[in-house]
Amino acid sequence: MTDNAKQLAAEAAAFLRTHFDVEGINLALVLGSGWSSGADQLGDPIGEIELGEVPGFSRPVVSGHGGKLLLKRTTGGKVAAVLTGRTHYYEGRGVAPVVHGVRTVAAWGATTLVLTNGCGGLNPQWAPGTVVLIKDHINLTGDTPLEGATFIDLSEAYSKRLRDLAHGVAPELPEGVYVQFRGPQYETPAEVRMAGILGGDLVGMSTTLETIAAREAGLEVLGLSLVTNAAAGLSESNLDHTEVLQTGRDAGPRLAGLLAGIVGAL
């Protein structure tokens, strides 16, 4: 992490401490496509703020993505920061803005990070609406949030302890490997086949860069993907963002209950 990135995260964390009058938090969540509807069930509200008002953050630019930071007290008595939007790599702002939220919550005291997303699925048994635990990832952006000789061990990028905890809440959850492409175009059928050959089960446009930054900051990471559609070439229909959003809306009540159960157990 550069000195500038570290300073900006510290400034954002200091701003949030003052705004909420909360010295530190225990965990944080980033809610991707389809997941924001679950925010209301994550605990008692402490307060909220528009992300664009926090130093270093920008308002989300993608339809269907929220734009607030919510502070919650979970049923387990912990303080959780819930980001209902994220900056995506395909927006062209560079890696630092993509991972600024992760670095901010780490500077604010979080030790656990839950990353969620909507994605395409390669496994035909995972119908749209299926939630998959991320057990590993493949970063095809060609980029990283790390600077210089920063050698971060990613042998367990996604915590097995947290995956086991999630299985305690929902034993039926499958696990898979998430592949991040740069976007914003959806993957071609050939790219989807390549992802499968490389060992991928899910394809999307977020999460891996945030996970790398989280591990650099010492955060334990749990990743949850909502399969919003079969990946390109695996169904007869073409990909459509409005259908992706509709799948998220349809799964909303179930996702809310699942997230509430997992967060309550953290």
* Strand, helix or coil for residue 221: strand
Q: Tell me: the pLDDT tens digits for 146-190?
A: 999 999 999 999 999 999 999 999 999 999 999 999 999 999 999
Any binding-site annotation on 33? yes
pLDDT at 235: 59
Any binding-site annotation on 118? yes
Give pairs for 45-51: CB < 8 Å, separation 24+. Answer: 45/70, 45/71, 45/72, 46/20, 46/22, 46/71, 46/72, 46/73, 46/79, 47/19, 47/20, 47/71, 49/16, 49/19, 49/20, 51/83, 51/84, 51/85, 51/101
Any binding-site annotation on 241? no
Q: Are 110 and 28 contacting, i.e. CB atoms less than 8 angstroms apart?
A: yes
Which residues, given as ranges, of the chain have pLDDT below 70?
Answer: 60-66, 231-241, 243-245, 247-252
Q: Compute and round to an integer the Cα radius of gyration of the chain.
A: 17
Q: Would you name the residues annotated as active-site residues?
A: 187
Q: Tell me: the pLDDT tens digits for 103-132?
A: 999 999 999 999 999 999 999 999 888 999
Domains of the chain listed by start with CATH number: 1-265 (3.40.50.1580)
CA dist 47 and 69 (Å) reads: 9
pLDDT at 11: 97
CA dist 107 and 156 (Å) reads: 22
Match 């005291």 to its residue by tokens.
Answer: 109
What is the reported pTM? 0.93
Any binding-site annotation on 229? yes
Any binding-site annotation on 2? no
Whether residue 184 has a cis bond before it, omega within 30° of 0:
yes
pLDDT at 144: 97
pLDDT at 36: 81
Residue 206 gets the label, from left (phi > 0), alpha (psi -120 to 50) or beta, of beta
Q: Are 39 and 12 contacting, i.e. CB atoms less than 8 angstroms apart?
A: no
pLDDT at 58: 85
